[in-house]
A and B are shown apart, each in its own frame.
Chain A
Amino acid sequence: MAYTIKLNGKTRTVDVEPDTPLLWALRDALDMRGTKFGCGIASCGACTVHIDGQAVRSCVTPISAVGGAEVSTIEGMSAHPVGAKVQAAWMEIDVPQCGYCQAGQIMSATALLSRNAAPTDADIDAAMRGNACRCATYTRIRAAIKRAAGLPTADTRA
């Protein structure tokens, strides 16, 4: 079945079955492979995209539920005012180790900073705990979010 969605500011049509997760419509049908598969049960956050600006797990979001909402993916972040800052901070702080989860981390961080320009450590914990990093780059994820927000990067938790 054909679905027309708004993706990174463009209109795209994809012909897949209604229950196809947005993740697989993006990766296999639309050739947008930046969004990653990690668990399939909304547990790891690797597949995080934005739907109308909210961080959403695309692995459990059927294409049929997307409707006319604005979908943004990691490929669209360079054109996103907050996303571009987050990407720059990620490179400057040298966040990635393997890098596989980082698209999802950047999507969650961008959603956080878009609604909260100066997050506390507790805000960062709450917004980011849905995104697992198996390499445990959490020290630098925290610092990079603060850098993108223009805050001091020190970890103030203890």
Chain B
Amino acid sequence: MLMDRSRRLLEDTPTDASRRAFLKASAITGGGMMLTLTLPLVAEAAVTYLGPEQTNLPQLNAFVRIAPDGIVTIMAKNPEIGQGIKTMLPMLIAEELDVDWKDVRVEQADNDPGRYGAQFAGGSFATPMNWDPLRRTGAAGRQMLVAAAAATWGCSAADCATEAGLVHHMPTGRKLQYGALAAKACSLPPPDLKTVALKDPKDYRIIGKATPGVDNPLIVTGQPLFGIDVKRPGMLYAVYQKAPVFGAKVGSANLDEIKALPGVRHAFVVEGGDDLSALLPGVAIVADSWWQAEKARRALKVVWADHPTARQSSAGFAAQAQALSGQPGQSVIRKDPEAEAAMAGAAKVVEAGYSYPFLAHAALEPMNCTVEITPGRVEIWAPTQNPDAGRQLVAKTLGINLPPSQGPFGPPLAGPPPKPAPGTPEILVHMTRCGGGFGRRLSNDYMVEAAWIAKQVGRPVKLVWDRTDDLQHDFYRPGGFHYFKGGLDAAGKLVALRDHFVTYGEDGKAASSADMSAAEFPARVVPVHYETSMMPLGVPTGPLRAPGSNALAFVYQSFLDELAHAAGKDPIEFQLALFGDPRELPAPPGGGGPFGPQPQFHTGRMRGVAKLVAETSGWGGKTALPPRTGMGFACYFSHLGYFAEVAKVHVAEDGTVTPQKVWIAADVGRQIINPFGAETQVQGACIDGIGAALGQAITIEGGRVVQTNFDNFPLIRIDKAPIVEVHWLITDNPPTGLGEPALPPAIPALCNAIFAATGKRVRSLPIDRNLLKV
């Protein structure tokens, strides 16, 4: 189904070059039978990768098809990685289209940014980017249906109203179903999205209602749905062995021996290149089944060439960071003119060094990709967060000359992407459901490996990594080192803060996700001196859920807690005093992201969530807790969301940490779109952060990753997951995303609670229980 639907979608791509081309109507006339759509959901999934799509329904716009019986199919434009986007974005369209959610079927769109706009999962951007345009898309569809009804009745559209898939003629009480109007509506000119009427939020019937995930029936019955479940006729299975030292080339390999093993069809060396985010050198083994390929790999003996990264190690970096901390920083991130004098005049100075390790993403579905190459066409099925970048990478690696695209983090598209030259092979990426993403699948290294192998063997190939591949070939959350100095005046007020941030990078450019903003709190409310030094790194790094923030919140919110205790202040009161009056802090010069200027920090919104969590957690009564039980506070602004969290923890005498409960207060604006999805994102992000803090580290020895599987890179389990109670603070601000911002403050809240329980300060992650023993 996917293949044929995609072909049709590509043929239907509107040629209108205007900015809004992807939202304009592209009607397919004719009533069409709806065999696929009338099948039960479960049966539909069973044919997901096999059968042709047998529908040719009226298409109101790129996102909406309406069948004669009123069943509405809405395209889900973005990759689903567990953030609930496949449910939430169609809710926005359905609400303004004014249909009953039970009549909605959701279908995953292929990668086609000319039709759907930017398609990626990252940065918790989907809500702020789509809240307005997708509601307008639905409203435009509604307006076209109303116009069709008015034309049918020969009346004014102003006399018509809609309700749950019907248009009413108010003066006469006549009614027409959307299904009966769809074909006519598609022939009408689409309205200007800027001027379509949107609902009053008090009339919402879908937005704001707890809505279960649209794929739940498929998930709980085990239907094929994920990338790893893709199957193509004639498909072979591949594994790909890369060097443990990142980027090392193949010296020699016992390929003849491997080729003789059962089921093995091909074994060959891939030259690869030096770019750690692209096709790296390695050995491919292709067999009749994945198990045969994997088993053959166990007999594989490769002599890898020497590589300079082999001299790097976590222990070496720690020693280097310690040495750098004794010297002035190599460059200044921010230096407020009064910072030095304020520190010199402080009544009390607190110094502390903090550090955190590299982390892997460890998405539970291992990296995988299926590629089928036919003349003129490269067809890809991939669990990817970033399909268009994958398409570009495959083109570059296979020597296909595609026009450049901006990628999701480039500036917004000014129109549909340029067309490739005639005769250029088409590259089509089908986005499968992803078994977790966490930022890992923003990189498409596994996609280009599968494409290369498929091209060599001339058959469809499914490449599946094993867990060791995954942990040893990630784009790691970079570790880091912070050397702090905080100055308090005689009244216990923070008057200056200094941080020498030792991170990874070269020539003044930090490695991916290893940088720090000049706006890092408490900059702008306290004079600060932030400087940085960099260590060259041969290990690939990249964004992990709440990139930057997932580490910076730990160090900054922990150190502010230290300062509060040193000042003899309540930690929440200490931070409330820093926020001061409600106001927007000025953006630092030179900042700014892909979608506009650097986000502003509103002290009033953070004050609001801090006060709310103090109430809900019973913070004032925490002195009555049992022995070795403590509560800790942290708050953090990231991904446009304001989060304040209080953790309650018990620490046993042997140092065992039991997180008991976390209270979370969150301000993500005026509307929680799907309360089901929103709450679970917050709970999951919080437990995710706590899990990383309790036990995860990737260590480098001899330029390679030590960890191999979940026995030495543990995932948090149900018995360690605290109760997480979520409270929303509704404020009159645009709705923002929830995939990430609950995570960063969970870690310092836990560590600050450990301090309250034991008097021991956690300054290095993961938490070392030996430090906490009695």
Docked complex Cα distance between A128 and B719 (Å):
8
Q: Which of A92-128 contact B (CB under 8 A)?
A: 92, 94-103, 106, 124-126, 128
Contact: A125 with B684, CB < 8 Å?
no
Task: Give every chain B residue within 8 A of A40 (Cβ-Cβ).
Answer: 466-467, 709
Docked complex Cα distance between A150 and B466 (Å):
39
In the assembled complex, B153 has its CB within 8 A of some CB on chain A: no
Among B82, B220, B717, the most chain A Cβ lie within 10 Å of the Cβ of B220
In the assembled complex, A46 has its CB within 8 A of some CB on chain B: yes
Task: Among A38, A44, A98, A124, point to the contact of B718 (Cβ < 8 A).
Answer: A124
- Closest Cβ of chain A to B80, distance in Å, is 8
Task: Give every chain B residue within 8 A of A33 (Cβ-Cβ).
Answer: 222, 224, 228-229, 231
Docked complex Cα distance between A41 and B217 (Å):
28
Looking at the complex, which of B110-118, B164-172, B428-436 is the stretch in contact with chain A? B428-436
Among A38, A41, A97, the most chain B Cβ lie within 10 Å of the Cβ of A97
Contact: B366 with A138, CB < 8 Å?
no
Contact: B684 with A137, CB < 8 Å?
yes
Tally B residues with Cβ within 8 Å of A: 69
Task: Among B221, B226, B661, point to the contact of A87 (Cβ < 8 A).
Answer: B221
Contact: A134 with B436, CB < 8 Å?
yes
- Chain A 30-53 interface 0/1 with B at a Cβ cutoff of 8 Å (1 = within): 011111111111011010000000
**A96/B710 contact (C-beta < 8 A), A44-B715, A75-B222 known:** no
Contact: A141 with B221, CB < 8 Å?
no
Contact: A16 with B289, CB < 8 Å?
yes
In the assembled complex, A74 has its CB within 8 A of some CB on chain B: yes
Task: Give every chain B residue within 8 A of A157 (Cβ-Cβ).
Answer: 660, 723
**A97/B718 contact (C-beta < 8 A), A134-B362, A135-B436 known:** no
Task: Give every chain B residue within 8 A of A2 (Cβ-Cβ).
Answer: none
Task: Among A43, A94, A130, A136, point to the contact of B688 (Cβ < 8 A).
Answer: A136
Q: Which of A130-158 contact B (CB under 8 A)?
A: 130-142, 155, 157-158
In the assembled complex, B1 has its CB within 8 A of some CB on chain A: no
Contact: B231 with A100, CB < 8 Å?
no
Q: Which of A21-79 contact B (CB under 8 A)?
A: 21, 24, 27-29, 31-41, 43-44, 46, 73-75, 77-78
**A39/B289 contact (C-beta < 8 A), A28-B237, A34-B221, A157-B660 known:** no
- Closest Cβ of chain A to B289, distance in Å, is 5
Looking at the complex, which of B136-144, B174-182, B208-216, B561-569 is the stretch in contact with chain A? B208-216
Docked complex Cα distance between A51 and B223 (Å):
20
Size category, A interface: 35 or more
In the assembled complex, B290 has its CB within 8 A of some CB on chain A: yes
Docked complex Cα distance between A29 and B291 (Å):
10
Task: Give every chain B residue within 8 A of A74 (Cβ-Cβ).
Answer: 220-222
Q: Which of B707-728 contact A (CB under 8 A)?
A: 709-711, 715-719, 721-724
Docked complex Cα distance between A103 and B386 (Å):
26
Docked complex Cα distance between A39 and B715 (Å):
12
Contact: A132 with B710, CB < 8 Å?
yes
**A94/B224 contact (C-beta < 8 A), A40-B467, A100-B364, A158-B660 known:** no
In the assembled complex, A12 has its CB within 8 A of some CB on chain B: no
Task: Give every chain A residue within 8 A of B687 (Cβ-Cβ).
Answer: 136, 138-139
Docked complex Cα distance between A124 and B434 (Å):
27
- Closest Cβ of chain A to B612, distance in Å, is 20
Contact: A31 with B365, CB < 8 Å?
no
Can you list 24 pairs linking A and B with CB atoms under 8 Å apart? A24-B290, A32-B222, A33-B222, A36-B365, A37-B464, A38-B710, A40-B467, A43-B710, A90-B220, A91-B217, A94-B677, A94-B680, A97-B82, A97-B83, A98-B364, A99-B215, A99-B219, A128-B718, A134-B688, A136-B683, A138-B687, A138-B721, A158-B722, A158-B723
- List 7 A-B pairs, minimum CB-CB distance, nearest first: A34-B222, A100-B435, A98-B82, A74-B222, A136-B687, A97-B82, A99-B219
Interface of B toward A, CB cutoff 8 Å:
80-84, 210, 212-213, 215-217, 219-226, 228-229, 231, 237, 262, 289-292, 295, 362-366, 433-438, 464, 466-467, 648, 660-661, 676-677, 680-681, 683-688, 691, 709-711, 715-719, 721-724
Interface of A toward B, CB cutoff 8 Å:
16-17, 19-21, 24, 27-29, 31-41, 43-44, 46, 73-75, 77-78, 87, 90-92, 94-103, 106, 124-126, 128-142, 155, 157-158
A-B contacts besides A20-B289, A134-B363, A134-B436, 15 pairs, CB < 8 Å: A32-B222, A34-B224, A36-B364, A37-B464, A40-B467, A41-B709, A43-B709, A75-B222, A96-B213, A98-B364, A129-B719, A135-B684, A138-B718, A139-B687, A157-B660
